[in-house]
Chains A and B, each alone.
Chain A
Amino acid sequence: MTSVRRSSETGLGGVARIFGFNEEQIEFRDTVLEFARRDLVDASSDPDGPFPRDAWNRCAEFGIQGLPVPEAHGGSGAPPSTVILGLEALGYGCRNNGLLFSLNAQMWACEEPIVRFGSDAQRMRYLPRLCDGSLIAAHAMSEPDSGSDAFALATSATKTDGGYRLAGSKTFVSNGPVADVFLVFARTSPAGGFGGISAFLVERDTPGLEVGAPLHKMGLTGSPMAEVFLSDCVVPESQRLGAEGAGLAVFTASMRVERSCILATAVGTMQHQYEASRNYAKARRQFGQPIASFQAISHRLVEMRLRLDTARLMLYRLARLLDEHAPADLEAALTKLHISESYVASSLDALQVHGGYGYLTEYGLERELRDAVGARLYSGTSDIQRNLAARALGLAAPAADPPRNREGAT
C-alpha cells in the first residue's frame, strides 16, 4: 500500500484557503506567525512569569491590539475573519497564553464596547492609546456574588449633580493590576433588574477606585487579575458608556464577539500541541519501536487531530458569519464550547503521550493544561454556552420558577 504524503501536516496549513480566506489574509496570518516567533521569544520563554509589558508593547507596535478598531481611531479595522486568522497564528507562535488572554480581554471586552457604544470623545480619548499600547483596559463586571448570574450585580451608580457616584466591588478583573482604565458595570436603577444597569469608563487614578492585590490563579499566570473596589468614586456623566440602562446591551454585545473570537488563539495552541506530541511519539522508542506505532498512542493523536480540525472548522465558519453580520448566537456558543472542551481534552492527551516527561514542568505541557482549564470558565462557562445554545435552538427551560432562580440569567 502506498502512503500518501500530506502537505499540511505541519504549520497552520492550507485549510484557510479551502475555507475561502484570500491570499492577503493568509499572508497576514503568516506575518503574525513570524512576528510571534521573532519578537515574542522572551514572553514565550517565561510563560509563568509576570505580565510581560514589553511584549505587550511589541504586540501593539505590530498592530495586534488595533486589529478590530477602525482606522480612524488608530486601528486597522480588520474584518473578523482576518482578526481570527491572526490570533490563531499568534497562538501557534507564542507560548505565553497569559499574554494572549490579556490581549483578548482588552480587545473584545473593552475596545469593542468603546467602538460600538462610545461617544466621539470617548473613542478619541481611549482607542488610539489602547491600540498603541500606552493604555491597558480591564473589564469589571463580575462581583463576589454575581458571576454567571452577571446581571445580579450589586455595585451602584447613584446620580449626582453632573455625574454618578459608584460604590461596590468587582472581582476576577483580568488586566486589573496593570490597567489604566476600567469598564465598570453598575446599577443605575434599583428597580430595573437587568434593564437598570449602565456601563462606565473609570480611569485608574479616579479618587475612590482602588485595585486590590493580584489574585493567584491555576494558570494564565502572565495575565494578572485583581479585585477592584469602588467607594465614593465619582465620575462625570461623560464617562458613561452608552445610554443609561444600556448595560445589558453593552455587556451582551461585547460577550457575543468575545465568545466568538477569544479562543482563536487556543486553536493555534492546539496545533502546536498536536505537532509536538506527534513528533515526540515518532521519535520516542520503547520496546524497539516508535511509540507512535502503538495503537494506544496513535489513536490518542488521531483524537487530538480530530478535535483540532473540528475546532478550526467551527471557528472559520463563525468567522465567515461574523464577516457577513449574520446571526451567529448558536454558532458562537457551540464554537466556544467545543474549542474550550477540546483544548482541555487535547492538553491532557498531549501530557499523556509524553508520559512522565509530560508531568515535568520543563516540558510546558502541565502549564498548558493549567492554562487550558480557564477556557472552560471565562467568557461564559461551558454550562452557560450550553444554556445559550439551548436557547438558540428553542429549547429554553420553562419558567416554572421565577427567572432569577435560573442559572445564567437574571
Chain B
Amino acid sequence: VTIDRVRKLIIDNFEIPPEHGDLPDDLPFVESHLLDSLDMLSLVSLVEAEFNVPVRDEDVVLDNFGTVGRIAAYVDRRSTA
C-alpha cells in the first residue's frame, strides 16, 4: 500500500516524462533525470505531509529517497519506529 501511495504522490506532483510514466519501484530519480535537487526537497516535504512522518535532516540521502521503493521502505521503517 505504501509503495502505491508513494508512486501516486510523485506522479500527482511532478511532471514525469511519458517513457517513465509507470514509475517502476527501482527507477533511480537522479540518474534518470526525473527529479532535480529542488524537486527532491519538495518531495521530502510531500512525504512528510502524506505519511505524517517527520523526516530527519540526516535522512535526506538517496539511500532513503532515491527511488519509489526506497522511499516506501523508509516510510515503513519510520512509521514502525
Residues of chain A whose beta carbon lies under 8 Å from any beta carbon of chain B:
116-117, 150-151, 191-196, 242-243, 245-246, 248-250, 252-253, 327, 329, 387-388, 391-392, 394, 396, 398-400, 402-404, 406, 408-410
Contact = CB atoms under 8 A, between A and B. Distances in A.
A329 B14 contact: no
A194 B28 CA distance: 13
Given A402-B33, A403-B35, A246 B61 contact: yes
B24 interface: no
B42 interface: yes
B50 interface: no
Contacts of B40: 194, 248
Given A396-B39, A396-B42, A399-B14, A243 B57 contact: no
Contact of B60 (A248, A399, A400): A248
Contact of B37 (A327, A396, A399, A409): A409
Interface string B38-66: 11111001000000000001111111001
B57 A399 contact: no
Contact of A245 (B16, B31, B63): B63
A404 B33 contact: yes
7 contacts: A194-B40, A195-B61, A245-B62, A249-B60, A252-B37, A399-B34, A403-B33
Contacts of B19: none
B26 interface: no
B50 to A, nearest CB: 13
Contact of A195 (B13, B15, B34, B62): B62
Nearest to A242: B58
Main secondary structure, interface of A, reads: helix
Contact of B30 (A193, A246, A253, A408): A193
Contacts of B41: 252, 329
A404 B36 contact: yes
Given A396-B42, A399-B17, A253 B37 contact: no
Which 3 A-B residue pairs are closest in the complex by CB-CB distance? A195-B62, A403-B36, A249-B60
Contacts of B30: 192-195
Contact of B57 (A117, A151, A387, A388): A117
Contacts of B34: 399, 403
A42 B63 CA distance: 51
Interface of B: 13-17, 30-31, 33-42, 45, 57-63, 66
B58 A249 contact: yes
A252 B60 contact: yes
Given A193-B30, A396-B14, A399-B15, A406 B62 contact: no
A400 B15 CA distance: 8
A150 B36 CA distance: 12
Contacts of B62: 192, 195-196, 245
Nearest to B59: A249
A253 B57 CA distance: 7
Given A399-B14, A403-B33, A406-B36, A391 B42 contact: yes
Contacts of B63: 245
B36 A409 contact: yes
A98 to B, nearest CB: 30
B9 to A, nearest CB: 13
B60 to A, nearest CB: 4
Nearest to A150: B37
Contact of B39 (A150, A242, A252, A403): A403
Given A243-B61, A399-B34, A402-B33, 12 more contacts: A193-B30, A193-B31, A242-B58, A243-B58, A245-B63, A248-B60, A253-B57, A387-B38, A396-B42, A403-B33, A409-B36, A409-B39
